[in-house]
C-alpha cells in the first residue's frame, strides 16, 4: 500500500512539472511572436533609413578591402600616369628679365638713346622666346630716384608676351641702379618655382645704391635659392664691366658686353635667347652619332693658341708631334654656332716622359678669350693602347661656343705651363653635335 501511494505521488509530481513546462513554453512562444511582430513593424517603418545607412558601410568596406570592380576602374585610369612618370620630362623654364631704366639710359647710343635701343632689342628677345618658357619682366629706376624703385611689371607666364612689350614701351629713364635689390627681389620671386630658374639682367652701369650685388648673388645659395644669373653690359666702362662680369660669375651665368647697338642686338636676340631656351635640349647621357667637331670639315676652327703650331693638333693627322708651347688652344665653330660637347680624345703614340700627362678642358659661350669654365681635368696613361691610340675622356654633355684645351704637366713630372714646348702632342679630338 505504501508502495502504491509512493508511485502515485511520483506521478502527480511528474504531471505538475509537465504542466509548468507547458505554461512556460506557451509564454515564451507568445513573447517571441510579439517581439517578432514588433521587429517586423520597426523594420518596415525604418527601411529607408536602413538603406541610407548601408551606403557608408559599403564604401568603407571597399576602401579597406581588396578593390571591387569600381576600384579597378580607378586603377586602370592611373596606369597612364604611371607610364608618363617613367618617361623623360622637359624641365620647366622660368625667366625673369630685368631691364635698367635708370637716368643714365637716357644717354645717346648712336643717333638714339640707350633706352630706345634697349626697348627695340629687348622687344625682339621677348618675341623670340617660345610659349614653353614662363617669362616675367622687371624694371628699376623707371618711376623715381629712390633705391627701392623696383617693380615686377609682369608675373611669370607663358602667354604674356604682348603685355610685356607694353610694359617695355612704357619705361622712362629716371632713377638709380639698384642691381643688388632687384636681383634679390627676382630671386625671392623665383625660389618657389619648380624647374630651371634664370635671371637676365641688362644694365648700362654698376650698382649705385651702396650695396654689393656680387655678395648678394653669392648669398642666394645660403638662402636656398638656386638661380642662374646672366648679365649684359650695355655701353659700360671698364670698371663697370668688371662688376657686371663678377655678378654673372657669382650667379653661374654668362656675361656679355655690348659696345654698340649692333652688338647689343646680336647678344640679346641671338646668343642670350639661345642660352636661355636651349639648355633643356642638352641630354644628360652620352649620345650617338657624334663627330669630331675640331675638324675644319665638321665646322671647327682654331681661334686662339699659345703658338700657331698647335693648329696641327686638330688637322686630323697624327704623323708628327708638335710642342705644347704655352699649352693652350681655343677651338670654335664656324658662324659662331654652338655645339653639345661630351667627349675628347688624346693621341698617345707610345711611352715617353715627354707625353702630356694632365690637361684641362674648358668651355665658354661668351668669347674666345673670356667666360671659360672648366668641365674637367684629365690624366693620360703613358702607354700606347693596342686597339686605338686615342685615349677617351668623357664628361657631362655641355653646350658651348668655344672649347679650350690647356696642357698642365708632362709624365716626367714637369709642370711649368709656360715651358712645355718640348712636350709630345699629336692630336686632340672633340666629340659632340653641332647645333643649328
DSSP 372-410: -EEEEEEE--SS--SS-SEEEEEEEEEEESEEEEEEEEE
Domain check: are 329 and 422 in the same one? yes
- Answer whether residue 243 is part of any domain: yes
Contact 342, 376 (CB under 8 A): no
**Residue 68: what pLDDT?**
39
Overall average pLDDT of the 346-362 stretch = 90
User: Percentage of the chain surpassing pLDDT 90?
Assistant: 38
Q: What angle do CA 84, 89, 90 make, to 5 degrees?
A: 150
The span from the first CA to the last CA of the chain, in angstroms, equals 135
Domain check: are 117 and 237 in the same one? yes
Domain check: are 122 and 140 in the same one? yes
Q: How far is CA 14 from the centre of its chain?
A: 99
Contact 299, 292 (CB under 8 A): no
**Residue 416: what pLDDT?**
63
Q: Is the pLDDT of residue 34 over 70?
A: no
Overall average pLDDT of the 251-264 stretch = 88
Domain boundary among 228, 255, 281: 281
Most confident of 64-73, 76-85, 156-165: 156-165
Domain check: are 173 and 261 in the same one? yes
**Rounded CA separation 203/222 (Å):** 25
Kindly indicate the confidence band of residue 54, based on its pLDDT and cuts at 50, 70 and 90.
very low
Domain boundary among 237, 262, 281: 281
Domain check: are 105 and 249 in the same one? yes
Would you call 156 helix, strand, or coil by DSSP? strand
Enumerate the H helices of 157-205 as residue ranges.
161-169, 179-190
Most confident of 26-35, 179-188, 374-383: 179-188
Domain check: are 63 and 136 in the same one? no
Q: Is the pLDDT of residue 67 over 50?
A: no
Helices (H) and strands (E) in the chain, counts: 9, 17
Sign, CA torsion 396/397/403/405: positive
**Residue 48: what pLDDT?**
44
Comparing 154 with 248, the larger pLDDT belongs to: 154
Overall average pLDDT of the 349-365 stretch = 90
Nearest 5°: phi and psi at 273?
-60, -45
pLDDT tens digits for range 270-300 = 777 766 664 444 443 445 578 999 999 999 9
Distances (CA, A) of 389 to 155, 384, 410, 428: 55, 6, 18, 12
- Answer whether residue 306 is part of any domain: yes
Domain check: are 123 and 201 in the same one? yes
Would you call 180 helix, strand, or coil by DSSP? helix
- Answer whether residue 116 is part of any domain: yes
- Answer whether residue 286 is part of any domain: no
> How many domains does the chain contain in total?
3
**Rounded CA separation 50/37 (Å):** 18
Domain boundary among 85, 102, 126: 85
- List residues bridging with 347 in a β-sheet: 390
Contact 118, 269 (CB under 8 A): no
Q: Is the pLDDT of residue 364 over 70?
A: yes
Domain check: are 251 and 299 in the same one? no
CATH number of the domain at 100, please: 3.40.50.410
- Answer whether residue 350 is part of any domain: yes
Q: Which domain holds residue 353?
A: 291-434
**Residue 7: what pLDDT?**
56
CATH number of the domain at 324, please: 2.60.120.260
Residue count (the chain) = 436
- Answer whether residue 380 is part of any domain: yes
Domain check: are 151 and 226 in the same one? yes
**Residue 21: what pLDDT?**
54
Q: 31: Cβ–Cβ under 8 A, 6 or more apart, which residues? A: none
**Residue 345: what pLDDT?**
93
User: Percentage of the chain surpassing pLDDT 70?
Assistant: 72
Domain check: are 117 and 253 in the same one? yes
**Residue 41: what pLDDT?**
47
pLDDT tens digits for range 222-235 = 777 888 899 999 99
Domain check: are 263 and 183 in the same one? yes
- Answer whether residue 419 is part of any domain: yes
**Rounded CA separation 343/393 (Å):** 6
Comparing 124 with 271, the larger pLDDT belongs to: 124
Overall average pLDDT of the 344-367 stretch = 90
**Residue 3: what pLDDT?**
44
**Residue 187: what pLDDT?**
94
Enumerate the H helices of 202-347 as residue ranges.
213-219, 238-250, 261-266, 273-278
Comparing 208 with 21, the larger pLDDT belongs to: 208
Overall average pLDDT of the 403-427 stretch = 78
Lowest mean pLDDT among 170-174, 198-202, 214-218, 276-280: 276-280
Q: Is the pLDDT of residue 75 over 60?
A: no
Mean pLDDT, the chain, as a whole number? 78
Contact 423, 354 (CB under 8 A): yes
- Answer whether residue 51 is part of any domain: yes
Q: Is the pLDDT of residue 69 over 80?
A: no
Q: Which residue has the cell 696613361?
A: 381
Domain check: are 9 and 26 in the same one? yes
Amino acid at each position: 500500500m505504501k508502495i502504491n501511494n509512493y508511485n502515485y505521488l511520483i506521478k502527480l509530481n511528474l504531471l505538475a512539472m509537465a504542466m509548468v513546462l507547458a505554461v512556460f513554453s506557451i509564454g515564451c512562444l507568445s513573447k517571441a511572436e510579439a517581439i517578432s511582430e514588433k521587429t517586423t513593424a520597426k523594420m518596415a517603418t525604418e527601411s529607408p533609413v536602413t538603406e541610407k545607412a548601408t551606403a557608408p558601410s559599403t564604401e568603407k568596406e571597399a576602401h579597406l578591402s581588396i578593390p571591387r570592380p569600381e576600384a579597378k576602374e580607378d586603377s586602370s585610369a592611373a596606369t597612364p600616369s604611371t607610364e608618363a612618370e617613367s618617361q623623360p620630362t622637359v624641365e620647366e623654364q622660368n625667366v625673369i628679365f630685368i631691364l635698367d631704366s635708370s637716368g643714365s639710359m637716357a644717354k645717346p647710343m648712336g643717333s638714339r638713346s640707350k633706352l630706345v635701343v634697349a626697348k627695340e632689342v629687348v622687344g625682339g628677345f621677348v618675341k623670340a622666346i617660345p610659349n614653353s618658357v614662363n617669362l616675367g619682366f622687371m624694371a628699376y629706376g623707371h618711376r623715381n630716384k629712390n633705391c627701392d624703385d623696383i617693380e615686377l611689371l609682369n608675373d611669370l607666364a607663358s602667354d604674356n608676351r604682348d603685355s610685356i612689350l607694353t610694359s617695355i614701351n612704357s619705361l622712362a629713364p629716371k632713377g638709380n641702379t639698384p642691381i643688388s635689390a632687384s636681383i634679390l627681389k627676382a630671386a625671392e620671386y623665383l625660389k618657389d618655382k619648380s624647374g630651371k630658374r634664370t635671371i637676365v639682367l641688362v644694365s648700362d652701369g654698376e650698382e649705385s645704391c651702396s650695396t654689393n650685388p656680387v655678395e648678394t648673388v653669392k648669398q642666394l645659395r645660403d638662402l636656398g635659392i638656386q638661380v642662374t644669373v646672366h648679365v649684359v653690359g650695355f655701353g659700360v666702362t671698364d670698371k663697370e664691366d668688371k662688376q657686371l662680369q663678377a655678378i654673372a660669375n657669382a650667379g653661374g651665368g654668362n656675361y656679355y658686353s655690348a659696345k654698340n647697338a649692333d652688338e647689343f642686338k646680336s647678344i640679346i636676340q641671338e646668343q642670350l635667347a639661345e642660352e636661355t631656351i636651349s639648355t633643356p635640349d642638352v641630354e644628360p647621357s652620352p649620345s650617338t652619332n657624334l663627330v669630331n667637331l675640331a675638324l675644319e670639315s665638321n665646322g671647327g676652327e682654331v681661334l686662339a693658341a699659345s703658338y700657331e703650331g698647335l693648329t696641327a693638333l686638330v688637322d686630323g693627322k697624327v704623323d708628327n708631334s708638335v710642342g705644347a708651347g704655352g699649352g693652350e688652344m681655343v677651338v670654335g665653330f664656324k658662324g659662331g654656332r654652338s655645339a653639345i660637347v661630351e667627349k675628347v680624345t688624346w693621341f698617345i703614340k707610345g711611352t715617353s716622359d715627354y707625353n702630356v700627362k694632365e690637361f684641362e678642358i674648358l668651355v665658354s659661350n661668351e668669347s674666345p678669350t673670356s667666360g671659360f669654365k672648366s668641365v674637367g681635368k684629365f690624366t693620360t696613361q703613358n702607354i700606347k693602347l693596342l686597339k686605338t691610340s686615342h685615349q677617351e675622356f668623357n664628361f657631362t654633355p655641355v653646350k658651348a661656343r668655344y672649347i679650350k684645351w690647356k696642357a698642365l704637366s708632362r709624365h716626367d713630372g714637369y709642370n711649368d705651363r709656360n715651358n712645355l714646348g718640348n712636350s709630345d702632342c699629336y692630336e686632340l679630338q672633340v666629340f659632340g653635335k653641332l647645333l643649328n
